[in-house]
Chains A and B, each alone.
Chain A
């Protein structure tokens, strides 16, 4: 201490300190640049365009927001989708992303930087991933110091799992939500470490932003209570924990209820119950600690027995009431997506619409390697590092990784939540390993050069240990201190002692042989290099395709398949503005955003019956389908067909889902009718129902004339029914590679005689089909 006080600023040590700060700031800036630029492969290889499906919806909402302002946005009733029902956008959408991009756009335009809304939307995700890596730095710094922080930030900047959701153009909620998630965790840990109400308030605000951004906020509001519970159970309760948790629940819940899409769900659904339960528990514990402080141990024991016996009765009653309440709601108070989290087989069993989305499926083992790569091997080391010594903060990240590993195993989409945890753990592991190895090397080198003084070495060793693993010692100190003094002391104080202590302890284990250290260092660097190579490859090759433009490398150069936009442009310019377009729900968002036409169903699958109606129409024969579509005022039907160029995710491959979802609501559609011996096929062995359904006909209309045989390149077979004519539909547009085909409903024939006949038929059939549940639109 004396030495420190005698050091005036400006000495070499002060210079070193300043240099370190500047260096880490510089590294952080570079990490931000890296995080931003590794996500630009999509712009460089393709173009600056919004990707995939959901981002198009977000883009459209942002356009609306920037054009009409925030008040119009909250009240927006979108009549261009879910025709004829429409959709209340303002109240059903997580507004965080759109508000963020809208604000960025507004600010830029206010200072006369005329960027288009599209540009802002495209680059929102890369910008926020830079923010996310900085937030990771802050979080890991709180846990294990700035070295680990920098390593974790660098790892997160290029973790493939996160890149897959945040390349330029991937304008989805996750883009800002991951930043919000990490930042909320950081503020929680910060509050936990400092006990400052200021950070607690910030934490609630960050949580609010997270609630605005993504449905994944439930992860936070369950993880933090879990951690609080863990701390209480392991005897780590402290006023700091109370400050970190109680304001978050109160303020956070109030703020969350302000978001229209959450509203009263913040107090009504079971996803939030854990936080309230823990809120009660922490108050009880606080009370107990308080009473313990003012009572003598004997009196305290008496009080405990008294309270526990009464408390148990009350708890039982409360639990019974809660269980009754939850059980009385149809899905047990849990939404389908959350239920499938707990029971991975839930969705595929009960909700085909959730199961039909590939990102709701459990991941495979290779996808772990693909998405987090070497981090998977570093995580265990990181966990071990977190346990030596275990602090509040490190126990939190351990809990975080455990929970996220579980959830990622349930749903591919949640790999995204795992990625930051894996990065933090690996960052800690790498940083600790580097500390040990470089420390050993330094020590061995110095001991070789100065082989004279034995004592000197020992002090040297001890001091070096302290410096290389100074944080470790300090942390350990903290935990020891806390257990003895109920954690009353400030965390950073005890670091004054280590020099004395470590001299006594002498951790010989941390000094490794020179050669081993060097080899280990090289191996670690190689591991890191592999990670970087993999990440760059993943960013460039695997995750950058916008999916609306496909490319293929052929012998005569790059071939571009831009069929989707070709047909959307056609729809947009050559159909009436109020025409309704029916397609499978996958293309709903794109149709409304790119073609600006009204659609029947879209990717926001809120109304299962409506989707089932379209599914039924697609699986019905032409005439019945025409009637369903006509009753829905549909003028054009759009199908996606990959048989000509071999595009596998086309409507024929998705068709069984249409049958299943349609059949779920309208029992006259039976999946078995479309399968031959349980096999889905479209060749000559296919069932007549399959060969006569609308989807088959619209996809394969005049397909046989392309090559004379009708060879489908996706299914690798010749189609079953080759020559047929359409009676109720006419082809109006087919894109260049036949990927999108648009048909128009032919107007009803104007024949009086026929109409009378049909009416007669209707009355006769209406009586007979009363018993069978029929399509309501017919």
Chain B
């Protein structure tokens, strides 16, 4: 147990040494104030930074560099930088800035660089406030890695108390928001204190470039470490008025693994149930007016789900077949229909589907997300716009009575967090005439089926007109007529 953490600390020291040695001047920017807030109440570490950037040099600067230690940036799922102009109360609306990964020369591998292009060059003496939101997955390491059912779930976060930056930082502070006040241990530095469920570091003044002070926080987490190893979302557009969404989840609990027995007795024990590390349910926030919701897996319907809906949202509380302990896996499918009019719009002769990209589950990390948008048969000129980079490909799907097949846009992205739940737009052209093709096909099909039947019953197909069977048939027909007519006559007589 100790060995593990000491390796980590060694690594951090190494990192520190390297970074302190290599200090080339990036530019003359100075961060006059840095506020960092790390939210670890869920399994995702969400880092929000407010950076006040001042240009102290003489030249105007149009690029700003963000740095993360490599072990964090490997798990970086989401990064967005926005800026706010003006000061104090007169803050204006935030606008997202473009961020791209940079590889400046002569820099150690243990730091990742991201270059942010500023909205307009920052001239001498100007200030700019940047808001950075970053979400990391897998940075909360369960520790110990294996626990029994009775143990509480402890996780560990590694960070730096000081902001790692290629710029000089004049003043900075860090606050870590924990899920509850139960803290196993944390690295005590100067100016560090615990306030309830928050740990605060700083403020630290006038730190040099690449300052780094590793900290480790070890705390209890009751959050659901639900990770979808693979999630396939199929969004099928039907111009008869429905958008059908089907989501296949391969879910795993990525927290500390369960060791030893699983005892239902202890799990169900009231008043003090054991097994808090397991999660029982997940909450899905579906769009409003979602209907025909189902929840099942390979072997049938799963009856443990509840739904609440109002005009703003539909909330689906789903419970897997069994409680998920650390390391346990499950698979399920949820599906729902959405009214077409809420998601399909027209612009400039094209239609576009405006629908959210990620999973509707709250606090779910998706390792591999595949979104398949199935457009109606006969759609043309398909294009997709997404707010972030995804891998795109096209497929054909054959569904109900298709002939040409339906075009499918396949979008793939790894490491998806709820912050990615933004709208994507799929543009395509579709003519309403195509809607009628399938009903017409059915009508033709039945027509073609019945015509031979009619011909068969009317026509005489016997080969030999003198065979015994044929004569017998004729006789039978005669007898039949006889019978019918006699019935008739007698009925006439009666009436």
Q: Which residues of A are interface residues toward B (Cβ below 8 A)?
A: 1, 3-4, 7, 12-13, 16-17, 47-49, 111-114, 194, 196, 442-443, 445-446, 456, 459-460, 463-464, 466-467, 470, 490, 492-493, 495-496, 499, 548-549, 560, 562, 565-570, 572-574, 594, 702, 705-706, 730-736, 738
Contact partners of B330 in chain A: CB under 8 A: 569, 573
| B481 interface contact, C-beta 8 A | yes
Which residues in chain B, 287-333, are within 8 Å of chain A measured between CB atoms? 297-304, 321-322, 328-331
Verify A730–B483 contact, CB threshold 8 A: no
When the two chains form their complex, are residues A731 and B488 in contact, meaning their CB atoms are under 8 A apart? no
Question: Are A570 and B321 touching (Cβ within 8 A)?
Answer: yes
Closest CB of chain B to A692's CB: distance in Å?
21
Q: Is B26 an interface residue (CB 8 A)?
A: no
With an 8 A cutoff between CB atoms, is B469 at the interface? yes
Chain B neighbourhood of A13, CB < 8 A: 484-485, 488
Cβ of B434 within 8 Å of any chain A Cβ, yes or no, is no
Smallest CB-CB A-B distances: 5 pairs: A734-B264, A49-B300, A463-B490, A446-B494, A13-B488
B264 touches A735 (CB 8 A): yes
Q: Are A570 and B322 in contact (CB under 8 A)?
A: yes
- A49 near B486 (CB under 8 angstroms)? no
Residue of B nearest to A20 (CB): B484
Answer whether A112 and B329 are a contact pair too, CB < 8 Å, given A1-B482, A4-B478.
no
Interface residues as binary, B465-495 with A (CB distance below 8 Å gives 1, 0 otherwise): 0000100100110111111111111110111
Question: Could you tell me the distance between the alpha carbons of A293 and B475 in the complex, rounded to whole angstroms?
Answer: 27
CA of A470 to CA of B484, assembled, Å: 10
Stretch at the interface among B15-23, B35-43, B48-56, B397-405: B397-405
Is there an interface contact between B402 and A112, defined as CB atoms closer than 8 Å?
A: yes
Q: Which of B263, B479, B486, B493 contacts A734 (CB 8 A)?
A: B263
Q: Are A113 and B401 in contact (CB under 8 A)?
A: yes
Query: Could you tell me if B472 and A7 are in contact, using CB atoms closer than 8 angstroms?
Result: no
In the bound complex, how far is the Cα of B400 from the Cα of A496, in angstroms?
55
Question: Could you show 8 A-B contacts with beta carbons less than 8 Å apart?
Answer: A13-B485, A17-B484, A112-B400, A446-B493, A456-B493, A562-B303, A705-B265, A731-B264
- Measured CB to CB, the closest approach of chain A to B367, in angstroms, equals 16
**CB pair B297 A569 closer than 8 Å:** yes
Asked whether, in the complex, the Cβ of A738 is within 8 Å of the Cβ of B488, the reply is no
CB distance from A313 to the nearest CB of B (A): 40
Asked whether, in the complex, the Cβ of A735 is within 8 Å of the Cβ of B322, the reply is yes
Question: In whole angstroms, how far apart are the Cα atoms of A562 and B301 in the complex?
Answer: 10
A538 nearest CB across to chain B (Å): 24
Q: Are B479 and A464 in contact (CB under 8 A)?
A: no
* Shortest beta-carbon distance from B115 to chain A in Å: 43
Q: Are A112's CB and B300's CB within 8 A?
A: no
Query: Does B381 count as interface, using CB distance less than 8 angstroms?
Result: no
B460 CB–A CB distance under 8 Å? no
B494 to chain A, nearest CB (A): 4
B348 at the interface (CB under 8 A from A): no
Shortest CB-to-CB span from B398 to chain A, Å, is 5
Task: Give the residues in chain A near B488, CB-CB below 8 Å.
Answer: 12-13, 16
CA distance A734 to B304 in the complex (A): 17
Asked whether B260 lies within 8 Å of A566 as measured between CB atoms, the reply is no
B487 and A470 contacting across the interface, CB-CB below 8 Å: yes
Interface assignment of B262: CB less than 8 Å from any CB of chain A: yes
Given A196-B469, A574-B329, residue A733 in contact with residue B322 (CB < 8 A): yes
Determine if A467 and B321 form an interchain contact, defined as CB atoms under 8 angstroms apart.
no
| Residue numbers in B under 8 Å from A114 (CB-CB) | 398-400
- Bound-complex Cα distance A559 to B167 (A): 63
Additional 11 contacts, C-beta under 8 A, given A443-B494, A445-B494, A569-B299: A1-B478, A13-B485, A49-B301, A490-B475, A492-B472, A495-B482, A562-B302, A569-B331, A731-B261, A734-B263, A734-B265
Query: Once the chains are docked, how many angstroms separate the CA of A733 from the CA of B487?
Result: 73
Q: How far is the CB of B122 from chain A (nearest CB, A)?
A: 54
User: Please, which residue of chain B has its CB at the minimum distance from the CB of A558?
Assistant: B303
| Cβ B479 vs Cβ A492 within 8 A | yes
A731 near B493 with CB under 8 A, answer no
* Residues in chain A near residue B479, CB distance under 8 A: 492-493, 495-496
Contact A467 B399 (CB under 8 A): no
Write out the residue numbers on chain A whose beta carbons fall within 8 Å of the beta carbon of B297. Answer: 569
Residues of A within 8 A of B472 (CB): 194, 490, 492
Chain B residues near A1 (CB, 8 Å)? 478, 482
Interface contact B475-A493, CB-CB below 8 Å: yes
Chain B residue at smallest Cβ distance from A471:
B483
Asked if A463 meets B322 with Cβ closer than 8 Å, knowing A7-B481, A705-B265, the reply is: no
Alpha-carbon gap, A470 to B489, bound state (A): 14
Contacts of A490 in B (CB 8 A): 472, 475-476
Contact in complex: B494, A442 (CB < 8 Å): yes
Which chain A positions have C-beta within 8 A of B475?
Answer: 490, 492-493
Do residues A732 and B322 form an inter-chain contact, with CB atoms below 8 A?
Answer: no
Task: Give chain A nearest CB distance to B248 CB in angstroms.
Answer: 13
Is B490 in contact with A111, judged by CB distance below 8 angstroms?
no
In the docked arrangement, what's the CA distance between A17 and B485, Å?
9
